[in-house]
Structure 1
């Protein structure tokens, strides 16, 4: 079903889709915005492709909702088409974030489309500081969680229908996201949430795999398997032992990220848990989680994502099998599906 009536969505349970858990990821003072948009150090790998970074200001006229995006598009090689990652930011973020990942996959021949969700983006930081909590909580309503997945669907429709979509291979599309964006990813990948006798089924059949970074729990839901068992596509889950969300009434420990992994129904799923870190370490901030650890984790995650995508797209699991040993000093835990 495609829910369109926001009145069906219960405000009391608005945080059940994980948005409130993401508040800690971006709760920076005004004036610190550049820290979230600054690029992290690139991994010391040869840059195999040049790419364009294109800011596109689209509007979904049906919903009267702007959907700004940034597209990292690799230069073509002999007319070959390229896979696509569509990435969703955490609450308070923007299309300008997560450059450390979007640029990296583009250098390696994979396009990356970074969404900006106008109901839960960086504009929340404007206005009076005294109204900040209220603005963040409003952005965490179920209606916004649904709108985010609709943003993703609209952006894919628009990209693939236009000239810029001609090099994209529509059969090789992966959804990815951090924090609130990880919940958006899971919903697009098949997670199903019950509301007032109905099931919100927002799955997009074009999504062939999911990259889930620091996923909050589904607050108010005591059976995550009921929500996540329907996520059947291959999934990569990334977190850290100090990936903790500290918000009054919405505390979430790092074990919640692991519970999301365990509840996900994918037969092929991987989990990387870094030792230390923080919830916001996976944004473009360069020091959170540790000035030394932060870039090392980003570099390791860049390689992990590429290895995962190669396994999903090309059936070559060698890099993914080798990755845990190569990065063992950073890891508290790594889980992989049983060998076939």
Structure 2
């Protein structure tokens, strides 16, 4: 009989799970070094952020975070919260264009830094960076990232900010390695030695998945992702290719992850061109003209998705489709009653050419 190994169900569970091959499944291999942010739009006085240097006593593990909080929150009102997980080699300082945009539009975001796979990877002897990257992708760190999300959310909800957060609208989000972390937080799981290895946190009621890598070593993605039921948004680009020694992942892997999620409450957007790092704070990757457009479009899309997921309101998504169609290879469709994504003519042509899987 299969047994479920769930987050918080067994005090020894983290130690047991770190001995499994979870890391190979969850590896995301984006290089997201800290650079100057490219803002979505000019702001004379960007909303302030607050840094927290938390430590999880149960694991003796630091969990630094950066909170982007809306500047004007009406008395008695509550705000949605997005908990964001960075890519390999990133930090809480990254993806600042998203944090600024969200807070400027009334949505709080907590950017979690994962101590075992953060920007510290770039310190030390350059000749050892490949070994450090491989260690960062190990099963122990893959699991620890999901536990970081759980711990950070615990701390945020128990803080003075907690009373101002709408607990019905808490979102797991991430890019690359962080996208896999977000998927684990909303229900991705694997079977190991007759046990389900999982770290689902039911407080997350939606997911934003940017450039999700494949689940390496897993041949049955439907089994890995089939239990995800929350609304989820997936964002990628036709040139969203991951390359690192020992690992290669084309854009088709992002589409395979999307397709393996059974719930119809999902959206997929594919930008034309771009790169894997275009969704980070890097200002020129993917092309100096396209880069700021993709950032602006991605930021806007996330909030249009939340309108649809939580309120059933597709007006913002309809406007988004019209505004950003020139840079899209595949546009999301918001036709009720499902959140789905039929292929656009441009994507159909790419499928015919073998650039993406046929629908």
TM-score normalised per structure 2: 0.86
Change (3 A) 1:288 1:8: closer
SS of the aligned residue for 2:243 comes to: coil
Paired position in structure 2 for 1:278: 275
Paired position in structure 2 for 1:329: 326
- Runs of at least 5 residues in structure 2 that lack an aligned partner in the other structure: 1-5, 8-12, 338-359
Paired position in structure 2 for 1:29: none
CA deviations 1:300-328 (Å, max 9, x no partner) are: 11110110112223331211133222211
Paired position in structure 2 for 1:293: 290
Paired position in structure 2 for 1:251: 248
The 8 Å contact of residues 114 and 148 in structure 2, kept in 1 or not, is answered as yes
1:72 aligns with 2:68: yes
User: In structure 2, which of residues 118, 135, 138 is the aligned counterpart of residue 138 of structure 1?
Assistant: 135
Shift of 1:6: 4.3
Q: Distance in 2 between matches of 1:226 and 1:314?
A: 29
Paired position in structure 2 for 1:43: 41
The 8 Å contact of residues 67 and 109 in structure 2, kept in 1 or not, is answered as yes
Q: Distance in 2 between matches of 1:7 and 1:239?
A: 30
Shift of 1:155: 0.6
Paired position in structure 2 for 1:155: 152
Change (3 A) 1:8 1:304: closer
1:5 aligns with 2:1: no
Q: Distance in 2 between matches of 1:69 and 1:4?
A: 21
User: In structure 1, which of residues 89, 93, 98 is the aligned counterpart of residue 90 of structure 2?
Assistant: 93
CA deviations 1:216-240 (Å, max 9, x no partner) are: 0000111111111111100000000
1:189-208 → structure 2 map (5 Å cutoff): 189-208=186-205
Stretch deviating more after TM superposition (279-288 or 313-322): 313-322
Shift of 1:275: 0.6
Change (3 A) 1:189 1:222: same
Q: Distance in 1 between matches of 2:165 and 2:199?
A: 23
Shift of 1:90: 0.3
Shift of 1:210: 0.3
Q: Distance in 2 between matches of 1:315 and 1:81?
A: 19
Stretch deviating more after TM superposition (263-272 or 330-339): 330-339
Shift of 1:43: 3.4
Shift of 1:82: 0.5
Shift of 1:164: 2.2
Q: Distance in 1 between matches of 2:19 and 2:262?
A: 25
User: In structure 1, which of residues 209, 212, 217 is the aligned counterpart of residue 214 of structure 2?
Assistant: 217
List structure 1 segments (4+ residues) > 4 angstroms apart after TM superposition. none
Note the aligned Cα RMSD (angstroms).
Answer: 1.9
CA deviations 1:58-82 (Å, max 9, x no partner) are: 0100110010000011132133110
Q: Distance in 1 between matches of 2:263 and 2:86?
A: 23
1:93-112 → structure 2 map (5 Å cutoff): 93-112=90-109
Shift of 1:142: 1.2
Shift of 1:140: 0.2
Aligned length: 326
Stretch deviating more after TM superposition (273-282 or 241-250): 241-250
The 8 Å contact of residues 280 and 289 in structure 1, kept in 2 or not, is answered as yes
SS of the aligned residue for 1:327 comes to: helix
Q: Distance in 1 between matches of 2:187 and 2:321?
A: 28
Q: Distance in 2 between matches of 1:309 and 1:300?
A: 14
Change (3 A) 1:225 1:336: farther
The 8 Å contact of residues 43 and 302 in structure 1, kept in 2 or not, is answered as no
Paired position in structure 1 for 2:56: 60
